[in-house]
Each structure stands twice: as C-alpha cells, then as structure tokens.
Amino acid sequence: MNSSLEAMPDALLAEFQVLREEFSRFMFAYKFGMDEVTTKVSILQQEFKHLQRYNPIEHVASRLKTAESVLDKIARKQCEPRFEEIRAKITDIAGVRVTCSFTSDVYLISDALTRQDDLTVLQRKDYVAEPKPNGYRSLHLIVEVPVFLSSGVVDVPVEIQIRTVAMDFWASLEHKIFYKYSGDVPPHIARSLQEAATTAARLDDEMESLHHDVHGALPPVPVEMANGSIPIPDAVLARFAQQRVTFAPLI
C-alpha cells in the first residue's frame, strides 16, 4: 500500500478508493473516446491508401492527459472539481493529432471526419485561415464521440488537431523553445519564431501549388479496383465477372 495512505482511517480510505475508481473510470472513457477517433482516422487513412490514388495523411498521434495535468488544468480554469463539470469544461483530456501532406488535406480530413453522423462538432478553431499572433497554424476540432460501455453510453469530448508537416514541425519546435523559456520568450526569439512560421506557411503554399500542378485541383479519384492489403486474385475476379454475366434473378 502507498505509505501516505497507511495512516488513513478506514472510512476515509474507503472513500479514497471509491474516488480512485471513479477517477479511473472517468479517464478510461477518454481513452476509449480517443481510440474511437483514432480508429476513424485509421479507417480513412486505409481507405485513402488502398482505395484511392492518394493518401493525405502523413501520420497520426494520440495522447491522454495525465490525471495530474487534468488537475493542473482544473485549477488553471477554476473549474469545479466534479466529473460532470470537468467533462463539460476541459475538452482536451483526449487528443488526436493528424499530420497531413498539404494544406488542402487538412480540410479534406476535417470534412471527412465531421461528416460522420456519430460525431458532434462542439467547437472548430481554424488557426490555418487565421493563425495565432505568434504564428501558430493548425485546425482544431472538439468533437463529441459516443462511447458504449457495459453500463451505458457516455459522450466523450476529444480534441482533434489537424495540420501539415510544416505546421507540425513549427509547433513542435516552438513548444520546446517556449518551455525552455518557461513561457517568457525574449522578444527577438518570438520575432524569429514568427518569421519561421511565415516561412513554413510559404513552404506549404509552394508545395500546395506544386501538388495542384502535378495532380490537379480536383479531389482524389477513386480507382476502379483496389489491390491493397486485401488482394483479389485475377481468377477470383474472372469468376465473379462470369457470375455477374450469368446471374438471372428468380422472379
């Protein structure tokens, strides 16, 4: 047993255990919500890869806030420490980040996700169209996803950040620099970071334009036949074609 709990009276200890279980169940719902969204992105990724001529997703990452950082955020946001209140106010406990190839892909993925009936968009912040003053660019969605537990359904908010490789590169390094200076970045460094963000945005524009020149501005064209990770042998295909020719429904 944890030494700090050893001296606790039994009644308090029992209460503590109930709270631990409740907290743990609360956090698991976010993990499941995150898994649901990750699966949705993975399905899109596989569909694009195997069934279309184009894959807009470079990589996908997910993270669950630690219980400790949830408490830090509750304190920062002056949120009442009750689970329902936390669920309503802290919407980034579960996060999924999708890194795309081109800027247009950011919107392609956002549309493909938000069209799904079981996702409810609670918030959309387009820092790609309107970057933050420091230069940060990314599309943020807070979606609510139903998680079906043995006890019933719980709607879990998940933050989805969608950005290009260049936006991601800038954000990761800016995050490191920001933390190195504990948030107090000297003005010349902040200026350099803004300039770097402008350079990254220009790079995205150039790559987007090259992409259009090479592949056209139209959305990806589905190919007639997929031959991805579920191969369909020629012999099977020929047999199926034959069946279709000779098939006559009974009237």
How far apart are CB 158 and ligand 0O2 at their closest, in Å? Answer: 12
Which residue, 171, 174, 42, 165, is CA-closest to 101? 165
Asked if residues 121 and 114 have their Cβ atoms less than 8 Å apart, the reply is yes
- Binder of ligand 0O2 out of 82, 132, 180, 215 (CB under 6 A): 132
d(CA 105, CA 112): 10
CB-based closest residue to ligand 0O2: 136
In the complex with ligand 0O2, which residue's Cβ is closer, 36 or 92? 92
In the complex with ligand 0O2, which residue's Cβ is closer, 49 or 125? 125
In the complex with ligand 0O2, which residue's Cβ is closer, 48 or 95? 95
How far apart are CB 175 and ligand 0O2 at their closest, in Å? Answer: 4
Query: Interface with ligand 0O2 includes 166 (CB under 6 A)?
Result: no
For Cα atoms 233, 234, 240, give the angle at the middle one, nearest 5 degrees.
Answer: 95
- Binder of ligand 0O2 out of 36, 105, 174, 204 (CB under 6 A): 174
d(CA 13, CA 30): 26
How far apart are CB 61 and ligand 0O2 at their closest, in Å? Answer: 11
How far apart are CB 241 and ligand 0O2 at their closest, in Å? Answer: 51
Q: Which residues of 42-68 are buried (b: 16+ CB within 10 A; e: fewer)?
A: eebbeebbeeeeebbbeebebebbeee
Cα 56 to the chain's mean position, in Å?
14
Kindly indicate which of the ranges 5-13, 33-41, 171-179, 190-198 contains the residues binding ligand 0O2, using the contact rule CB under 6 A: 171-179
**Pure H helices in the chain:** 3-6, 10-51, 67-76, 83-89, 103-114, 165-180, 187-215, 234-246
- Binder of ligand 0O2 out of 66, 134, 227, 242 (CB under 6 A): 134
Catalytic member of 159, 195, 206, 208? 159
d(CA 92, CA 30): 9
In the complex with ligand 0O2, which residue's Cβ is closer, 132 or 239? 132
| φ, ψ for residue 65, nearest 5 deg | -60, 145
In the complex with ligand 0O2, which residue's Cβ is closer, 74 or 112? 74
Q: Is 68 a catalytic residue?
A: no
Task: Please enumerate in sequence order all residues whose Cβ is within 8 A of that of 162, keeping only pairs 6 or more positions apart, or say none.
Answer: 97, 98, 100, 106, 109, 110, 138, 139, 140, 141
What burial class does residue 40 get, using C-beta atoms within 10 Å of its C-beta: 0-12 exposed, 13-18 middle, 19+ buried?
Answer: buried
Q: How many residues bind ligand 0O2 (CB under 6 A)?
A: 10
Residues 43-102 that bind ligand 0O2 (CB under 6 A): 92, 95
Query: Interface with ligand 0O2 includes 32 (CB under 6 A)?
Result: no
List active site positions: 159
Which residues form the interface with ligand 0O2 (CB under 6 A)? Answer: 92, 95, 125, 132, 134, 136, 140, 171, 174-175
